[in-house]
Structure 1
Amino acid sequence: MKKFVFSLLSILLMFSTILPFAFAAEADAPAAAVKSVDDFKDLKNLPKADKDKFDSLIQDGVFNGLTEDTFGLDARMNRAQFAKVAAIIFDLEVDNTLTVSSFSDVSADDPANSYALPYIEALKKAGLTNGYDEEGKTYKPAGEVSRQELAAFLIRGLGLDADASSAEPVDDSTVDDWAKGYVSLALEKNLLTNQSAGKFSGKTSATRKMLALASFAAKQILTGGAPEETAEPEVQPQPGDEPAAPAEEISAQGKKMLFITRQSSQMTQLKENPDDEKLITRMKDLGFRVTWVNCDKFTAEKAEGYDLIIVSNTLNSKYLRSGIMKDVAIPTVYLKNHGMYYLGLSSQEENTNEYNIKSTTIAEPKDKAAAGLSGDVELLLTTDPKTAIAYGLPGKEATVVATVPGKPKEATIFYYNKGTHSDSGYEVQARLSFFSFAGNYDNATDSNWKLLDALVLWTLQNG
């Protein structure tokens, strides 16, 4: 049987309140006004029984939303986030000065999960985890929790490991052999239910909704009650939920993204400017499976097998000057104009910033990358002489979605479709897009994020 030594959820379920499965919960975040289920647009249409559960959890401060008005039912959580939540719940001693982990795959240089290093170490010190692999050398911080893993965690947390071993295994090809007893007992106890076509979909990633309802049911068992039999159909996006690809187009769910970030020697700057980490988290919320690489370590060969590339504005542009991306036939979003310039897709390299402005003008409101917006749209909450909105000067075959207000040649959002050409004749190998990095993401408006989401998903379509 495959060994799953990560027993965090099991322990959480044995103590006090229901596990607050909130993304990147903050121990020192300022107190916010108490919300209810009606404050989240993706919870309003849930069955009443589920709404009552979520309303109780939200008002008790157990759950937070991903945004002010979106709970994120379909969002997935990784093991790094588990660690932080657990450390906060149990008030573990966390040494925030730690920069080296006892696990080989946990690093202070990881833009996405470096924040969790001291929390992961706190869990190990408290005896709550031994890691992920048999030898306890790795933790797998970015790893997701599958439905069959969730079933095992819940059953172990309830002290029913022996019962699972003797249970009649499920006859389900979607469940690995090691998990069939756990899944059988989880179904019997109404902790989880089958999804479409009577299958459990064991290898499918568990969502926040699944985690919340299943842990709620486990809590009922722990307190001596019987969990309600709750229908758990296969998750379907609700109108207004987290960003998703348009109907009948490629979804970001499960797609592999390569994120090219700053050079290795500058990784310590993440503490002062964590925009890469925030952007990677945003992409994961869209459904991407994100891998990052330092720009000085990137080669064209490392891009093979990915569905989308994002080139961060934090990278050192000198690593693009050789035309390293010229033959990479993978849809790419550049957050730095230099990337388009070195391919001949923008005619100006330097001095492509406008200061003391907050807005962009939507040039093509009907374009899918315009996210349904029109007119002048604010990208920044505040601006000053040091805060810039970047632009490029694209060629005649580009599609310009937005520009600097009053300057239609300065494009803040534009793209080239596969098969189009630069003015110098270079043929575009896959859809290539540019998005203006607007100051920093703490200063970005909701419209800024909406436009970025739309462009990323449109680029993924690779038309």
Structure 2
Amino acid sequence: MKKFVFSLVSILLLTLTVLPFAFAADAGMETQTAAVKKADDFKDLKDLPQDEKDKFDALIQGGVFNGLTDDTFGLDARMNRAQFAKVAAIIFDLSVDETLTTSSFTDVRSDDPANSYALPYIEALKKAGLTNGYDAEGKTYKPAGDVSRQELAAFLIRGLGMDDQAKSASPVNDNSVDDWAKGYVALALEKNILTNQADGTFGGKVSATRKMLALASYEAKQLFGGSSPDEPATQPGDKPDAPSGEISAQGKKLLLISRQSSQMTQLKDNPDDEKIIKRLKDLGFRVTWINCDKLTAEKMEGYDLIFVSNTLNSKYLRSGIMKDIAIPTVYLKNHGMYYLGLSSQEENTNEYNLKSITITEPKEKAAAGLSGEVDVLITTDPKTAIAYGIPGKEANVIATIPGKPKEATIYYYNKGSHSDSGYEVKARISYFSFAGNYDNATDDTWKLLDALVLWTLQNG
């Protein structure tokens, strides 16, 4: 899985390299949720070479960029540090607290009409160790400031965890690049993240444009979606490989729907989603997460798998938003199954003082090779629960509460099957009981979750 390299370097280097990037140039565009556009909808994109249009399509439809106006992308517009922050946070999967209204930097304000939208993204960069600000004291960020090409190269390389490689790389022989940036530029060129200008020089001090940002961020995101250059994608025994002929999770796009991390104080008995995200990335998925109150059907388009965390607020599923989603989905929340008619009971679906579940179909791939009673919690008490659902007759039940065969802890519906009320399942939908603290989960729990996630991805 990708990792960031947060080595401490001089304040000067941090000042020069840790800059931000984003979609639209103003706050208003950041929050609007219009119909998803394509490159051909923008007059300054439609005549680009097809390979570049494909990249812009991926970024626009993936929610990484909007246009400056309804029909203009703004290819040649300079990007500023505020814009840079938002794109960086997205392509590097940083945790963003969109409820923040105050910043660590004195010049980043929620009442700034041009750059207030970037406040939570700038804070995400700081929290991740990717910026200490603009000035030597770390008091200001300079959100409206331009970003040079060499600064863009340095930030992307650092964000990809290649800082050490850049320091040991043979520096470019290019007078347009400052000495401090020559290793970063050399590596950015080698990895095809950025290219030289038409005159053959890199143009290190030239202000980067939105086109440069978009194409560079696309290439960086492709690298970020794969294995880290200094860390193997897997360790022996860590990740189950897809059997021959089956769909692999490697590189597949997964959307995790959760309750925003800043709200976790409201969920004292529930863990953060970071461990789940790490596990899913270890399986090979390229994970994007979204706060449940921001969820729309359009934002789920283009993903290979949807993963519904047990931390989310169930009311955001009650509207039936998931009813017509034809994407394989894993629910860690029984409410989601209930709202589709795939579980006949909504509330009071917990068993307490219990550590184990019973595998009822050990030959199923989703059973992970386990059988009989399997401990899924390390410890239990009157407040610690194992959750369950009450599935219909067309469900495939893998595990239940011991001695209670109607209380299913792991089950799934195949594509084309029906709930007892007649709802037709559009893609494989699975349920996994995970109501306790993730630190309290046994190794077998994680094995079962891995197996169900990969089985759901097959979409049978």
TM-score range, shorter chain: 0.5 to 0.7
Q: Which secondary structure does the structure 1 equivalent of 2:229 belong to? A: helix
1:210 corresponds to which letter in structure 2?
A: P
Query: Which one of 441, 444, 452 corresponds to residue 447 of structure 1?
Result: 444
Counterpart mapping for 1:180-259 below 5 A: 204-205=223-224, 210-211=229-230, 240-259=237-256
Given the superposition, is the C-alpha separation of residues 264 and 441 from structure 1 closer, same or farther in structure 2, using an over 3 Å criterion? Answer: closer
Per the TM alignment, residue 119 of structure 1 is displaced from its structure 2 partner at its CA by 3.1
Query: Which one of 98, 103, 107 corresponds to residue 100 of structure 1?
Result: 103
Per the TM alignment, residue 385 of structure 1 is displaced from its structure 2 partner at its CA by 0.6
**Cα displacement string for residues 263-299 of structure 1 (whole angstroms, at most 9, x for unaligned residues):** 6983554798542222122212222222222222212
> Residue 117 of structure 1 corresponds to which residue in structure 2?
127
Given the superposition, is the C-alpha separation of residues 421 and 371 from structure 1 closer, same or farther in structure 2, using an over 3 Å criterion? Answer: same
Q: Which secondary structure does the structure 1 equivalent of 2:173 belong to? A: helix
Given the superposition, is the C-alpha separation of residues 424 and 149 from structure 1 closer, same or farther in structure 2, using an over 3 Å criterion? Answer: closer
1:389 corresponds to which letter in structure 2?
A: I
Structure 2 unaligned residues grouped into runs of 5+? 11-90, 109-116, 149-154, 202-219
CA contact (8 A) 1:360 1:378 kept: yes
1:426 corresponds to which letter in structure 2?
A: Y
Given the superposition, is the C-alpha separation of residues 8 and 261 from structure 1 closer, same or farther in structure 2, using an over 3 Å criterion? Answer: closer
Q: Which secondary structure does the structure 2 equivalent of 1:211 belong to? A: coil
> Residue 295 of structure 2 corresponds to which residue in structure 1?
298
Corresponding position: 1:405 with 2:408? no
Given the superposition, is the C-alpha separation of residues 379 and 202 from structure 1 closer, same or farther in structure 2, using an over 3 Å criterion? Answer: closer
Counterpart mapping for 1:152-171 below 5 A: 154-158=165-169, 160-162=171-173
Per the TM alignment, residue 366 of structure 1 is displaced from its structure 2 partner at its CA by 1.1
2:372 corresponds to which letter in structure 1?
A: G
Given the superposition, is the C-alpha separation of residues 365 and 165 from structure 1 closer, same or farther in structure 2, using an over 3 Å criterion? Answer: farther
Q: Which secondary structure does the structure 1 equivalent of 2:103 belong to? A: coil
Distance in 1 (CA, whole Å) between partners of 2:5 and 2:354 is 50
Structure 1 unaligned residues grouped into runs of 5+? 1-5, 13-76, 82-96, 138-143, 183-200, 213-234
Query: Which one of 175, 178, 193 corresponds to residue 195 of structure 2?
Result: 178
CA contact (8 A) 2:411 2:432 kept: yes
1:100 corresponds to which letter in structure 2?
A: S
Distance in 1 (CA, whole Å) between partners of 2:175 and 2:282 is 33
**Cα displacement string for residues 32-70 of structure 1 (whole angstroms, at most 9, x for unaligned residues):** xxxxxxxxxxxxxxxxxxxxxxxxxxxxxxxxxxxxxxx
Corresponding position: 1:279 with 2:276? yes
> Residue 419 of structure 1 corresponds to which residue in structure 2?
416
Counterpart mapping for 1:34-183 below 5 A: 100=103, 107=120, 117=127, 119-122=129-132, 135=146, 154-158=165-169, 160-162=171-173, 175=192, 178=195
2:172 corresponds to which letter in structure 1?
A: D
> Residue 457 of structure 1 corresponds to which residue in structure 2?
454
Given the superposition, is the C-alpha separation of residues 273 and 389 from structure 1 closer, same or farther in structure 2, using an over 3 Å criterion? Answer: closer
CA contact (8 A) 1:417 1:430 kept: yes
Distance in 2 (CA, whole Å) between partners of 1:179 and 1:156 is 20
> Residue 427 of structure 2 corresponds to which residue in structure 1?
430
CA contact (8 A) 2:5 2:163 kept: no
Q: Scaled by the length of structure 1, what TM-score is found?
A: 0.58
Distance in 2 (CA, whole Å) between partners of 1:263 and 1:317 is 13
CA contact (8 A) 2:126 2:132 kept: no
Per the TM alignment, residue 249 of structure 1 is displaced from its structure 2 partner at its CA by 1.5
Query: Which one of 318, 327, 330 corresponds to residue 321 of structure 1?
Result: 318
CA contact (8 A) 2:225 2:286 kept: no
Q: Which secondary structure does the structure 1 equivalent of 2:195 belong to? A: helix
Given the superposition, is the C-alpha separation of residues 400 and 291 from structure 1 closer, same or farther in structure 2, using an over 3 Å criterion? Answer: same
> Residue 346 of structure 1 corresponds to which residue in structure 2?
343
Corresponding position: 1:289 with 2:290? no
Give me the CA root mean square deviation. 4.8
Distance in 2 (CA, whole Å) between partners of 1:295 and 1:354 is 26
Q: Which secondary structure does the structure 1 equivalent of 2:407 belong to? A: strand
Given the superposition, is the C-alpha separation of residues 131 and 419 from structure 1 closer, same or farther in structure 2, using an over 3 Å criterion? Answer: farther
> Residue 259 of structure 2 corresponds to which residue in structure 1?
262
Per the TM alignment, residue 394 of structure 1 is displaced from its structure 2 partner at its CA by 0.5
CA contact (8 A) 1:146 1:203 kept: no
Q: Which secondary structure does the structure 2 equivalent of 1:413 belong to? A: strand
Distance in 2 (CA, whole Å) between partners of 1:179 and 1:356 is 64
Per the TM alignment, residue 158 of structure 1 is displaced from its structure 2 partner at its CA by 4.6
Distance in 2 (CA, whole Å) between partners of 1:248 and 1:287 is 17
CA contact (8 A) 2:324 2:426 kept: yes
Distance in 1 (CA, whole Å) between partners of 2:389 and 2:159 is 47
Per the TM alignment, residue 397 of structure 1 is displaced from its structure 2 partner at its CA by 0.7
CA contact (8 A) 1:257 1:289 kept: yes
> Residue 225 of structure 1 corresponds to which residue in structure 2?
none
Given the superposition, is the C-alpha separation of residues 452 and 160 from structure 1 closer, same or farther in structure 2, using an over 3 Å criterion? Answer: same
Q: Which secondary structure does the structure 2 equivalent of 1:290 belong to? A: strand
Distance in 2 (CA, whole Å) between partners of 1:208 and 1:408 is 42
> Residue 58 of structure 2 corresponds to which residue in structure 1?
none
2:103 corresponds to which letter in structure 1?
A: V
Distance in 2 (CA, whole Å) between partners of 1:375 and 1:175 is 52
Per the TM alignment, residue 423 of structure 1 is displaced from its structure 2 partner at its CA by 0.9
- My pick for the range that moved more, 412-421 or 433-442, is 433-442
CA contact (8 A) 1:370 1:451 kept: yes
